[in-house]
Structure 1
Amino acid sequence: MPESRIMEHQQPRAPLAERDSGGPPAPDWFTAALARAPERILVPVADARIETLIWGERGRPGLLFLHGNGAHADWWSFIAPFFADDYRVAAMSWSGMGGSDRRPHYTLDLFVQEILEVAQAAGLFDQGLPTVVGHSFGGTPLIACAARHGERLKAAVVVDTPIMSPQVRRERRARRGEPREPRAHQIYPTLEAALARFRFQPPQPCEHPYIADHIGRTSLRQQPCGGYSWRFDPFMWKDYRRGNPTIDLPGVRCPVALMYGEKSSFLDDGIVDYTRSIAPPGTPIMMIAEAHHHIMVDQPLAFVSSLRTLLAAWPGPGGLIRPGA
């Protein structure tokens, strides 16, 4: 499911369409978080270099953040520093997204391999097993990794990943109709013109334009011929090979927690009830108030506080947790 893609026909108001040349003002917490610049490395995984951002000292417990479809590691660069005093933290860009290399073909198996090899290269195994947090699409290979290699993970936190029953999946596919044929990115003449077209997908409001500005700027690359275009591979899903098994939530072999935005557009069709019914017994389910699908954008400090609270008391017995309630 695409996320930071530019879908010009789906959302009437672009969050940066009326931005001024200096960019929107940002609060002190955000500026301070970005000031804690990460180490940036490229980790080779199956003939592709995977962009990896790292905070915190080696020898601390490992924590890895996985982004959603069309996004990139810098979606976490204002979140990860909050954990860097206690963890060795990393955020990666999937192959075909962000600053990672593109591949001729993409598979779920390769994405699972990227999780483990990036975690190893970033030093996240230096102090026991790492915890991995995956948002939206990022939760899909995370669940597959937890099912296949759960003995190598301390825990998995799946953030607003829609896990649908076969019936709901068929109904949604029928409503969408035939997928649109992929095409090359448009090249915008200026950075400002490109930022004006940035939209979140699925469509949602954005009350923090400084976050949208940061994400939009880091989603673009300047082209050799001039102009700017988006960094993700527009053709990556054309021949995507999901493999078998796909999502095996009941079969995960490490503790797993689920986090949702209470206003997420993915929470219809009984998705939470279905996910709860197939999740391992005792799985914590967290609802973040006033958050849409992109929880780290809508409620960044609530997301940080909720994740801190979860990691401080879990893995362990779970239940329904509503931070701030």
Structure 2
Amino acid sequence: MINPHRFSIGPADAQIAMLQWGESGRPPSLLLHGTGFVADVWDEVARELASTYTVYALDRRGHGASHKPGAYHFLDYADDVGRVIDALDLRDIYGIGHSAGATDLLLAAKLLPGRFTRLFVMEPTVMDPRRTRSGGLSEESLSRVESTTRRRAEFDSADAVFDRYRAAPAFADWTEISLRAYVRHGFVPLDDGRVRLCCTPEIESAILRPIFEAMEQVYAGDARGNPFAWLTEIDCPVRVTTAANSGPIYKEMARRAASLIPSVSTLFFEGAGHCVAQELPGRVVEAVREFAK
């Protein structure tokens, strides 16, 4: 088994950590993970796709080995995708994304028209700008965002993390390879042998606030505004997927995306949850290849 090539792009204070599977010179595929994770959680999907594509994945800002600047709005992430595409001079890209990472790709397709051939997006984080609500987050959502800061950040060892996460409902259906990849690369070793989350609870809380605002249809954006109307201008075919065991809000946001995107089709994964690529990677590879035909 050949490990992916690791590299980074950008200056030292704004680096984006990258992985590459497969030989250069093949059509590119760009993979974007969801909130809290790292590029390595795509490993099983990427290894299969590498027989056909040059597969790239990145640690999204705030995650893994990438920069952690404190700015975590949707367009910040889309701008980072654009930086990667320009730095690697990628064209005719097959974009594959999960959750907020799927949203990165949708917005990047508008920022860089003509660079993507198609997008395969699994339960993207989307609000419908035609049905916005006034006001801020509900008390319940505020409480959930703030409670993230109390998440445990340090563990005695990587094995202790794996055992803890393997018993957690959110990771119960992940493959062992996917979970070990997350534990290995989503945590940084400390001098005393312990390990700490790369995406710290404080960072994750800052990342989640815009996401919860989008869920509740109250997102106003930053100084650049709300970019979700851009989805009506995406110029490539898009497949939006949902999963049977996902929460209702994920299915609702996928419906919002499908209602906005001009050239859209949908797919439903039976027997899977929100993190379908880490639960049933073979099914995802099959679906990705089917959409490419």
Task: Give the TM-score range, shorter chain.
Answer: 0.7 to 0.9
1:118 & 1:202 partners in 2: Cα distance?
Answer: 34
Percent identical among aligned pairs is 23
Q: Tell me the distance in 1 between the aligned counterparts of 2:157 and 2:255.
A: 46
Q: Does the CA contact (< 8 Å) of 1:259 and 1:286 recur in 2?
A: yes
- Spell out the pairing of 1:1-325 with structure 2 (5 A cutoff): 35-44=1-10, 47-122=13-88, 125=90, 128-165=91-128, 166=131, 173=138, 175-178=140-143, 179-180=145-146, 182=149, 186-198=153-165, 203=170, 205-206=172-173, 208-236=175-203, 237-238=205-206, 242=222, 243-248=224-229, 249-266=231-248, 270-280=252-262, 282-312=263-293
**What TM-score do the two structures reach when normalised by structure 2?**
0.80
**Letter aligned with residue 70 of structure 1:** G
SS in 2 for 1:310: helix
3-state SS, counterpart of residue 240 of structure 2: strand
Amino acid paired to 1:262: A
Amino acid paired to 1:113: D
Root-mean-square deviation (Å): 3.1
Q: Which runs of 5+ in 2 are unaligned?
A: 211-220
For residues 106-146 of structure 1, the C-alpha deviation after alignment (integer angstroms, 9 at most, x for no partner) is 343332222122234445x2xx4212111001022222112
CA distance, structure 2, for counterparts of residue 163 and residue 105 of structure 1? 19
Q: What amino acid sits opposite 1:221 in the alignment?
A: V
Question: Normalized against structure 1, the TM-score is what?
Answer: 0.73
Measured at CA, do residues 310 and 51 of structure 1 come closer, stay the same or move farther in structure 2, by a change above 3 Å?
Answer: same
Q: Indicate how the Cα distance of structure 1 residues 301 and 171 shifts in structure 2: closer, same or farther if over 3 A, else same.
A: farther
Distance 2:118 2:13 in 1: 28
Q: 76-85 or 269-278, which moves further after superposition? A: 269-278
Note the C-alpha offset of 1:168.
8.9
Distance change >3 Å, CA 114–CA 163, structure 1 → 2:
closer
Distance 1:209 1:37, change over 3 A: closer
Task: Determine the structure 1 residue equivalent to 2:213.
Answer: none
Q: Decide which structure has greater helix share.
A: 2
Contact conserved, 1:45 with 1:117, CA < 8 A, in 2? no
Q: Answer with 149-158 or 282-291: which moved more.
A: 149-158
Q: 1:251 to 1:45 in 2, by over 3 A?
A: farther
Q: Which structure has the larger Rg?
A: 1
Number of equivalent positions: 274
Give the 3-state SS of the residue equivalent to 1:196 in structure 2. helix
Residue ranges of structure 1 left out of the alignment (5+ in a row): 1-34, 313-325
